[in-house]
Amino acid sequence: MAKLKEKSVWFCSECGADSPKWEGRCPACGAWNTMVEEKVKTSSKSIAKSPLGHTPKSTPLKVSEIVTSSEPRIHMPSEELNRVLGGGLVPGSMVLIGGEPGIGKSTLVLQNILAIKSRRMLYVSGEESATQIRLRADRIGRMSDNCYVVTETSLENIFTHIEKVKPELLIVDSIQTIASDEIESSAGSVSQVRECAARLLRYAKQTGVPVLLIGHINKEGSLAGPKVLEHIVDAVLQFEGDRQYMYRILRAVKNRFGNTSELGIYEMCQRGLREVTNPSEMLMSQHEGERLSGCAIGVTIEGVRPFLIEAQALVSTAAYGTPQRSVTGFDSKRMNMLLAVLEKRVGFKLAAKDVFLNIAGGLKVADPALDLAVIAAILSSNVDMVIPSGVCLSGEVGLSGEIRPVTRMEQRVREAEKLGMKQILIPRGALKGVDTSKLAIKVVEVSKVEEAFRHLFA
């Protein structure tokens, strides 16, 4: 038998690269101060054999000879989750659901598996006791006889449980709490996470049982520690949202079996997560009553769905020397650029004003089409004039103040029409070939920021 020798290896906690000695800067990803020491047992038996003359278990096949399994995707009870997965869970795949602590990952998964009736499932929890999970199930109001729960953190024991239960779907909550006896370092370390994930992946591929992993996210917003995990799994879903708001967004960051532009929206309620099938309701709930200055409605597209969202701005006289800029839900650099455009084009006194900007509902929006709504909100607050209700905007703003076309304009206009908007400001020429006279919404084409300003506040 080969003797096991223990040695130190330094792993980068950002990218998972290893090095035989400590380094201040990771040689692979260039991150500073990320190398952590871990003890690893290696076999001292020499493995320096000839690369040829070894008989492997697998044989290469011609692409045309490969048999595709006709096993259909497993339909998840939550439609939002299905869509983000690209139409359901693929048998034998490993999916990672990442998110900050307390965002609702365990709730999302438990809620879904309790609603699956036809499958035997094993929920391995390394964080919560079985009682806590039962309490959560009570709170969600769902029960299942097919779902087995075990509190376990040892990978070897997990495989023993798997042999006994023979699940058709395995859930591991969370991968950072699981450790293998074969590796010296503690649970959550790079080598543990990597090894455990790799072993679970092998299990998934060999048996065709899909594995759902739950993982934590670190302060920087990437999956805690090992980026390697992202390379191993088939799909990475990110569960995110603002703690202050109850809306949660499920986003595919990577998906070998589907589109990554898809988005699922949920609301955390007293009794679990509720699917938000009409995202514009995030805006519409705040829509009643009288309109105030500083609010503008933009039409944005996330994934394939367009929805309306409100940008709120407050512009006030700067009390101190340096004007304040505070942004939530929007890129602050982008806002600074838009402010500079406003100064140049419509005489906005940049240096004399504090500007606060907020995207309603706690969403983070990266769609450039929101530029126009952001500008309108800032101007509205600046001149203290209300943008009439029923008016929305969609368009990108360029450096010289020109309004530029954005993708899928027709879809945006139709969404605004569907939600009862009366008027939409769009970039000139963005709706070429569409007969706007048939629409119930008035389409106003603008080509410059000044033009939009005059139209809104003249």
- Rank residues 241 and 298 by Cβ distance to ligand TYD and give the closer one: 241
Residue 145, amino acid: D
Mask for 345-384, x = binds ligand TYD (CB under 6 A): ----------------------------------------
Check the CA dihedral 247-253-257-262 and report its sign: positive
Whether the CB-CB separation of 11 and 20 falls below 8 Å is answered with: no
d(CA 125, CA 98): 15
Q: Which of residues 87-146 bind Mg ion (CB under 5 A)?
A: 106
d(CA 367, CA 370): 6
Q: Which of residues 129-188 bind ligand TYD (CB under 6 A)?
A: 136, 139-140
Which two three-digit tokens encode residue 21? 């000695």
| Closest-CA residue to 312 (of 333, 284, 292) | 292
Cis before 70? omega within 30: no
| Smallest separation, CB 344 to ligand TYD (Å) | 45
- Rank residues 10 and 266 by Cβ distance to Mg ion and give the closer one: 266
Which two three-digit tokens encode residue 314? 């407050």
- Rank residues 9 and 217 by Cβ distance to ligand TYD and give the closer one: 217
- Rank residues 110 and 446 by Cβ distance to Mg ion and give the closer one: 110
| Smallest separation, CB 171 to ligand TYD (Å) | 12
Q: Say which entry of ligand TYD, Mg ion, none residue 241 contacts (CB below 5 to 8 A, set by partner kind).
A: none
Burial of 434 (0-12, 13-18, 19+ CB in 10 A): middle
Task: Encode 395-415: b = buried (16+ Cβ within 10 Å), e = exposed.
Answer: bbbbeebbbbbbeebbebbbb
| Smallest separation, CB 310 to Mg ion (Å) | 31
Q: Say which entry of Mg ion, ligand TYD, none residue 176 contacts (CB below 5 to 8 A, set by partner kind).
A: none
Backbone angles phi, psi at 44, to 5 degrees: -85, -5
| Smallest separation, CB 443 to ligand TYD (Å) | 41
How many residues contact Mg ion, by CB under 5 A? 1
Stretch that binds ligand TYD, among 39-47, 95-103, 367-375, 409-417 (CB under 6 A): 95-103
Stretch that binds ligand TYD, among 3-11, 23-31, 53-61, 97-105 (CB under 6 A): 97-105
Whether the CB-CB separation of 445 and 430 falls below 8 Å is answered with: yes
| Smallest separation, CB 374 to Mg ion (Å) | 35
Burial of 314 (0-12, 13-18, 19+ CB in 10 A): middle
Q: Which of residues 98-117 bind ligand TYD (CB under 6 A)?
A: 99, 101-107
Mask for 272-311, x = binds ligand TYD (CB under 6 A): x---------------------------------------
Q: Say which entry of ligand TYD, Mg ion, none residue 60 contacts (CB below 5 to 8 A, set by partner kind).
A: none
Whether the CB-CB separation of 119 and 143 falls below 8 Å is answered with: no
DSSP 329-367: SS-HHHHHHHHHHHHHHH---GGGEEEEEEEGGG-----
Q: Which of residues 259-278 bind ligand TYD (CB under 6 A)?
A: 268, 270-272
Check residue 280 for interaction with Mg ion (CB under 5 A): no
Interacting residue ranges for Mg ion, rule: CB under 5 A: 106
Which residues here bind ligand TYD, judged by CB under 6 A? 99, 101-107, 136, 139-140, 268, 270-272
